[in-house]
Amino acid sequence: MRILITGAAGFLGSHLCDRLLADGHEVVGLDNFITGNPDNIAHLMGNPKFSFQRHDVSNYIFVQGKVDAVMHFASPASPNPQSPSGYFNLPIQTMKAGALGTHNCLGVARANNARFLLASTSEIYGDPLVHPQTEDYPGNVDPVGPRAVYDEAKRFAESLTMAYHRYHGVDTRIVRIFNTYGPRMDLEDGRALPNLLKQALLGQPLTVYGDGSQTRSFCYVDDLVEGIVTLLYSNEHLPVNIGNQHEMSILQFAETINRITGNKGGITFVKDARSIRDPQQRRPDITRARTILKWEPKVSLDEGIHKTIPYFKKKLGLA
C-alpha cells in the first residue's frame, strides 16, 4: 500500500513509518514540526519508499498520486504545562489538528477510496468513573476544563470519523491509545515515565505528586505499533483500546525506575494541587483487541525500560 501518515516526525508517527516501511509499504510522511522532531525521521530520508511533506494538517492536504490508507497522528499530545510543545500552550493548534486536521485527512481518504485510521486517546475517557475503561464507556470529561482542548478535539475527531464512515462509507478505524513509552519520546513530555526516568539517570530524587496512589499502565512502543498496524489491516470500524493492562501506582512505578537504574536519589513527595485535573486511574480493558485483533502486549515493563534507557542517556549527554 501507499500510506499517508500525519505527525510522521512524532514519537508514535516515526515508529509507524519504520514499521510500515519494513512491511514493504510506501510511506508519505507529513508533519509541520510544531511538536514533531526532524531527527526522528532523518534516517528515512534516503529511503526510496519514503517521501516527506512539511505541512500543517489544519490546511487543505494535497498528495500527488494514489493513496491507499491515511493514518492521522498529527496533534500536540504532551500534558506538560511547562512544555512549549504541550497542548496547554498550543490550545488552538490542538483543536485545529483534531477538528480541521481530521476533516482534511478524511477528505483525502474519501477522495482516494482509501482506508482511514484515527489516532485517538484514552483521554477521551477523562477522569473515569468506570475502571478499567471499556470502549463503550462514554467518559467523564469536563468540556471547559484545562485539558479539554485535547480531550474534546479527540472526541470530536472520533465523531467525525464515524460520520464519514456512516454517511460517506469511508473505511475507517479508530485506535484509543493508552500510556506509551520508548525511544524518541520527548524528555520534556510531562508524563510520568520521561519525568522519572530522566531524574533517575541524573541521580536525582524522583518527584512523586501527592502520595503516589494515582495509577497508570505503561505500554512499550513496539507493542503499541503492532496493535495499531494489526487494526489497520483488520475490518474493525468501532474504537479499539490499545495499551497495557498491567496497572501500578505512580509510587510503585517510581520505585521500579530507581531499582532498574540503580538510582540512589530516592523519592520526593510533592503536594498535588491537581491544577490540570490529572486522571487518578487509567487502565484499558483490551478484551476487544484480544478478541478481534488477537493482540496483546508482550514486552514487560523491565524489558521496555531497559530498551528506552540508551535513548534517554544519549539525549541527556550521558552516553
pLDDT band at 281 (very low <50, low <70, confident <90, very high): confident
Give the residue numbers annotated as catalytic, written as ranges.
Answer: 150
Tell me the CA distances in angstroms from 187 to 198, 217, 251, 313, one per residue in order.
7, 19, 20, 11
**Residue 292 backbone dihedrals phi, psi, to 5 degrees:** -85, -45
Measured from the Cβ of residue 252, the count of other Cβ atoms closer than 10 Å reads: 14
Give 5's DSSP letter.
Answer: E
pLDDT band at 190 (very low <50, low <70, confident <90, very high): confident
What is the rounded average pLDDT of the residues 119-145?
Answer: 93
C-alpha cell at 303: 524489558
The answer on pLDDT for 275 being more than 80 is no
Please state, in angstroms and rounded to a whole number, the distance separating the CA atoms of residues 2 and 262: 45
Please state, in angstroms and rounded to a whole number, the distance separating the CA atoms of residues 161 and 174: 8
Least confident of 29-38, 66-75, 132-141, 269-278: 269-278
DSSP 172-183: EEEEEE--EE-T
Q: Which amino acid is at 15?
A: H
What is the rounded average pLDDT of the residues 294-304?
Answer: 98
> How high is the pLDDT of residue 278?
66
What is the rounded average pLDDT of the residues 256-260?
Answer: 97
The answer on pLDDT for 272 being more than 90 is no
Cα-atom radius of gyration of the chain, to the nearest Å? 19
> How high is the pLDDT of residue 261?
97
CA dihedral 73, 74, 78, 81 (to 10 degrees): -160
| Contact indicator for 174, 161 with CB cutoff of 8 Å | yes
Q: Cell 512523586 belongs to which residue?
A: 208
Q: Report pLDDT digits (tens) over 85-110.
A: 889 899 999 999 999 999 999 999 99
Alpha helical stretches, state H, 136-191 = 148-163
Please state, in angstroms and rounded to a whole number, the distance separating the CA atoms of residues 52 and 42: 11
Please state, in angstroms and rounded to a whole number, the distance separating the CA atoms of residues 198 and 202: 6
What domains appear along the chain, each with residue ranges and CATH number?
2-182+219-245+283-299 (3.40.50.720)
> How high is the pLDDT of residue 82?
79
Model confidence, pTM: 0.95
> How high is the pLDDT of residue 50?
98
What is the rounded average pLDDT of the residues 296-312?
Answer: 98
C-alpha cell at 287: 478484551
Measured from the Cβ of residue 24, the count of other Cβ atoms closer than 10 Å reads: 8
Q: Is the dihedral of CA 48, 53, 58, 60 positive or negative?
A: negative
| Contact indicator for 44, 15 with CB cutoff of 8 Å | no
Please state, in angstroms and rounded to a whole number, the distance separating the CA atoms of residues 155 and 151: 6
How many residues are given for the chain?
319
pLDDT above 70 covers a percentage of the chain that reads 98
Q: Report pLDDT digits (tens) over 216-245.
A: 999 999 999 999 999 999 999 999 999 999
What region, left, alpha or beta, does residue 299 occupy, with left being phi > 0 and alpha being psi -120 to 50 degrees? beta
The answer on pLDDT for 273 being more than 60 is no
> How high is the pLDDT of residue 64?
96
Q: What is the mean pLDDT of the chain?
A: 94
Classify each residue of 73-93 as buried b or exposed e, where b means 16 or more C-beta atoms within 10 Å of its C-beta: bbbbbbbbeebebbbbebbeb
Q: Cell 489538528 belongs to which residue?
A: 97
Q: Cell 499502565 belongs to which residue?
A: 217
